[in-house]
Chain A
Amino acid sequence: DTAVSQTPKYLVTQMGNDKSIKCEQNLGHDTMYWYKQDSKKFLKIMFSYNNKELIINETVPNRFSPKSPDKAHLNLHINSLELGDSAVYFCASSQRGYTLMGYTFGSGTRLTVV
């Protein structure tokens, strides 16, 4: 059983397109996150949702819109894709207030904008 699963694993798309990445966790956690990993492997938090409520919104272009239909799902929609959006996007989950074992990460979605 995959604890945090993301789809798709690879996404190649043209500039200007709109795309979505989906994430689901079956750990019963109440908090989910999106992280972006750039070409230098630097991992930066983008968003965090707790029980469907946005709690962290870092300085991210408003072309990025997270959506959490329920606490087990957090999707990321990106409008008007740009070359600089190319990166690996990781979804993660945790139980808020219980930081033991940190976050559980998915295996990532490699987005390539051409």
Chain B
Amino acid sequence: GENVGLHLPTLSVQEGDNSIINCAYSNSASDYFIWYKQESGKGPQFIIDIRSNMDKRQGQRVTVLLNKTVKHLSLQIAATQPGDSAVYFCAENMRGNKLVFGAGTILRVKS
């Protein structure tokens, strides 16, 4: 597939299992964080966001956790489905409304 040979961190999970994707961000002054999903041939698509005054936010099947002490974000996907296979990016909103992306993690869901 398109992501072969990319050397991004890859998470392989069995369909129905839960997935946890991790991200370290760089700027302690960042006030807003977003997780994006990018499917092959498409642009990044918003999944869930969290402000820096929160440490957890839940959506439909997804949860984002924020640990400001160690500058760490995670995305938890419950009951992972084949349609969840994609590259996942965390992004931090820096001063000046500039969204800076992390390196990306490939999620592969095995049926």
Contact A99 B43 (CB under 8 A): no
Cα–Cα distance between A55 and B97 once the two chains are bound (Å): 10
Chain A interface residue count, CB cutoff 8 Å, equals 27
Cα–Cα distance between A104 and B36 once the two chains are bound (Å): 10
Interface 9-mer from B16-24, B44-52, B64-72, B77-85: B44-52
The residues of A that contact B99 with a CB separation of less than 8 Å are 33, 45, 102-103
Cα–Cα distance between A92 and B8 once the two chains are bound (Å): 24
Contacts A41-B87, A45-B99; A101 near B104 (Cβ below 8 A) = no
Chain B interface residue count, CB cutoff 8 Å, equals 27
Q: Does B25 contact A (CB under 8 A)?
A: no
Interface 9-mer from A13-21, A79-87, A105-113: A105-113
Residues of A within 8 A of B (CB): 4, 31, 33, 40-45, 48, 55-56, 90, 92, 94, 96-97, 99-108
* 7 closest cross-chain pairs (CB), A and B: A105-B43, A43-B101, A102-B34, A41-B104, A105-B44, A107-B43, A99-B32
